[in-house]
Each structure stands twice: as structure tokens, then as C-alpha cells.
């Protein structure tokens, strides 16, 4: 299974990816993890990424695409993978399509977790209150203003991916507001009928 999960921050992509990776024995490929691993390995592309990150810049699509391509070639991806945080933009999606074509691979699906953004904000606020009440530590970016900015950035840069993948015929939509197990079951169902 080669899968992309789309949806705004807080939609449950990470939760669903974890369940699906365990069930299918495939890795979840997180852009951040892949970048850190390439830097730690000291690969040529990792050195280029490190130089950009050390200077405070954003790693270019070219570098990210190369890191993803090299990661997909690793043995644990032979039976598939779930992409997490990639692609983020239509140009990255186009690059991914070309990359997979060159490798003789294709996506099994792109699942868009449809959610009510206002409900996500309320859910995040509730989670923060519960964490504080339990004496836990809240992440610095786990506040309503930061979360709303992340949602805004998602709408601007990543939401257009749904239209792109709708155009390729690969997009399947699932109600991300349902119970976690129901969302997982629906993802499995739409992938079987794809």
C-alpha cells in the first residue's frame, strides 16, 4: 500500500498513519524524520539539507524530493509506505508522480480527511485544558492563535492538493470527524474500492 493522507493539522493523519502502518507492516515516512535521518547519515543530500537548515532557510523542494526518493528506495518500503507531510504543495505532488513513475510505482490512494475546522479548534482548546489540568506540559504551538495560523497555512499551500489529486482520479474523501476506528475502517474501505 502506497498512500498519502491529506487533511489540516489536527485531523488525525498521524493517528491513522500509526494504525495503518502497524496493520500493514509498512513505514510512515515523515518529511521531518527523513530530513533528520539524511542529515545524521551525512549523505550528500543530507549535507546540502544541513547547510540550508543551519542557515535558518527552508529546505528546497529539490532537496526534499531527493530525500523522499532515496527513502522510498529503502528495503522497508518494498511493500509500501504512508507519506506524512509530503507532498505539501502541487509542485511536490507533480514531482512525486514523476518519481514514482520512474521507479515503476504508483500510489494506491490519496485519502483526504474531511473535518470541521471550527470543531478542530475547539478540540485543540479542550486538549490543552485537559493537559494543564492533569499537570502536563503544553507544546508552545498548541494554542488557539498558533493553531489558526497553521490552519491558514494549510489552506493556502496544502489544501490545493485535494484538487490536484481529484484531477488525477486518486483522491478519496473520508469523514475525519468520525470515531477513530470508524475513520480507519472507512479508509480501508475506500482503498479496497479504488
172 is known as an active-site residue: no
Active-site hit among 36, 114, 123, 150: 150
* 87 prior amide bond cis, ω within 30: yes
Helix (H, G, I), strand (E, B) or coil at 2: strand
Active-site hit among 2, 13, 48, 172: 13
For cell 529503502, name the residue: 74
Burial group, residue 87, by CB count within 10 angstroms (0-12, 13-18, 19+): buried
Active-site hit among 36, 50, 88, 166: 88
What are the residues whose beta carbons fall under 8 Å from the beta carbon of 164, sequence distance 6 or more? Answer: 90, 93, 94
d(CA 87, CA 155): 14
Half-sphere exposure of 154 (CA within 13 A, CB side): 16
Q: What are phi and psi of 62, to 5 degrees?
A: -55, -45
127 is known as an active-site residue: yes
88 is known as an active-site residue: yes
Active-site hit among 106, 127, 129, 157: 127
Catalytic residue numbers, as ranges:
13, 88, 127, 139, 150
Amino acid at each position: 500500500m502506497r498512500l498519502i493522507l491529506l487533511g489540516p493539522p489536527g485531523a488525525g493523519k498521524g493517528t491513522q498513519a500509526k494504525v495503518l502502518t502497524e496493520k500493514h507492516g509498512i513505514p510512515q515516512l515523515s518529511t521531518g524524520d527523513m530530513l533528520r535521518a539524511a542529515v545524521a547519515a551525512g549523505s550528500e543530500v543530507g549535507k546540502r539539507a544541513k547547510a540550508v537548515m543551519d542557515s535558518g532557510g527552508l529546505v528546497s523542494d529539490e532537496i526534499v524530493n531527493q530525500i523522499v526518493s532515496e527513502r522510498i528506495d529503502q528495503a522497508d518500503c518494498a511493500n509500501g509506505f504512508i507519506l506524512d507531510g509530503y507532498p505539501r504543495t502541487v509542485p511536490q505532488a507533480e514531482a512525486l508522480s514523476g518519481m514514482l513513475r520512474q521507479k515503476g510505482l504508483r500510489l494506491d490512494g490519496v485519502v483526504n480527511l474531511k473535518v470541521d475546522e471550527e470543531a478542530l479548534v475547539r478540540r485543540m482548546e479542550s486538549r490543552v485544558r485537559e493537559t494543564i489540568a492533569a499537570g502536563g506540559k503544553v507544546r508552545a504551538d498548541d494554542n488557539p492563535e498558533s493553531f489558526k495560523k497553521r490552519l491558514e497555512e494549510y489552506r493556502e499551500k496544502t489544501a490545493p492538493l485535494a484538487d490536484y489529486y481529484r484531477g488525477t482520479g486518486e483522491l478519496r474523501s473520508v469523514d475525519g470527524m468520525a470515531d477513530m476506528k470508524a475513520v480507519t475502517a472507512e479508509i480501508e474501505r475506500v482503498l479496497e474500492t479504488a
